[in-house]
């Protein structure tokens, strides 16, 4: 008589990764790098975008630069292939909320948490890694926003240099602002999504090699 069949053993589900416990200092927005020398960090917001993100990735690859991309959840959900490409090329990926709202004006803490959690869950599902950095749209660091990002184990990152490229002021204006405001330790804000970013790409095409020729090097801040 044949032995009774037994149900195959299944591996237990992995427990969700616990949020990183941040110190009080790590819970405050980072606006400047601590590294000595001519070191800067390039950050790129509001993507991924089907046209501009590939252009930016190609430019960064050409110059051997690694950057931090702060992605909007809705855009990432629509273009997971670009999210994977950003990660595969060695860039860091940060959380820039799901729908890019002004977090100060959301009606309650639960909606702030939903904007952050939903985006982190999506990015972790695409890349296999939860984002360690968070940037509030507009740099609006309300107390509850900082509290929520801390509870989720994400460090907040601000910026030092803002060429206001989101307003599409023209390639020469963007380039002039980047050049004028640049200094060692700066965190540079630019955009590859949220509109026509061809001016930003054109400005970076001229700006990045000149910065390298001036002795600057690039880093991606570690959380």
Residues involved in catalysis: 45, 191
Q: Pick the closest to residue 220 from 177, 183, 173, 188 (CA basis).
A: 188
Residue 187 pairs in a beta bridge with 41
Q: What stretches of the chain show up as alpha helix (H) in DSSP?
A: 52-63, 73-78, 80-88, 109-127, 143-151, 171-181, 198-213
Distance CA 218, CA 215 (A): 10
User: Which letter, b or e, does each residue of 71-97 get, where b requires 16 or more Cβ atoms within 10 Å of its Cβ?
Assistant: bbbebbbebeebbeebbeeebbbbbbb
């Amino acid at each position: 008589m044949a032995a009774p069949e037994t149900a195959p053993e299944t591996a237990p589900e992995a427990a969700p990764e616990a949020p990183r416990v941040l110190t009080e200092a790590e819970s405050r927005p980072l606006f400047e790098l601590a590294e000595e020398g001519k070191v800067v960090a390039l950050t790129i917001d509001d993507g991924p975008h089907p046209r501009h993100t590939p252009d930016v990735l190609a430019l960064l690859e050409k110059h051997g630069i690694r950057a931090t991309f702060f992605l909007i959840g809705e855009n990432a959900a629509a273009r997971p292939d670009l999210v994977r490409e950003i990660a595969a090329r060695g860039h860091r990926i940060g959380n820039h909320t799901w729908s890019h709202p002004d977090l100060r004006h959301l009606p309650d803490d639960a909606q702030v948490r939903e904007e952050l959690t939903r985006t982190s869950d999506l990015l972790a599902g695409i890349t296999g890694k939860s984002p360690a950095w968070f940037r509030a749209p507009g740099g609006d660091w309300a107390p509850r926003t900082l509290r929520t990002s801390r509870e989720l184990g994400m460090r907040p990152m601000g910026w030092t240099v803002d060429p206001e490229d989101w307003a599409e002021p023209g390639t020469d204006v963007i380039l002039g602002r980047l050049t004028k405001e640049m200094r060692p330790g700066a965190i540079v804000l630019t955009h590859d999504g949220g509109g026509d970013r061809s001016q930003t790409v054109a400005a970076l095409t001229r700006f990045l090699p000149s910065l390298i020729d001036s002795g600057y090097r690039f880093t991606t801040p570690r959380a």
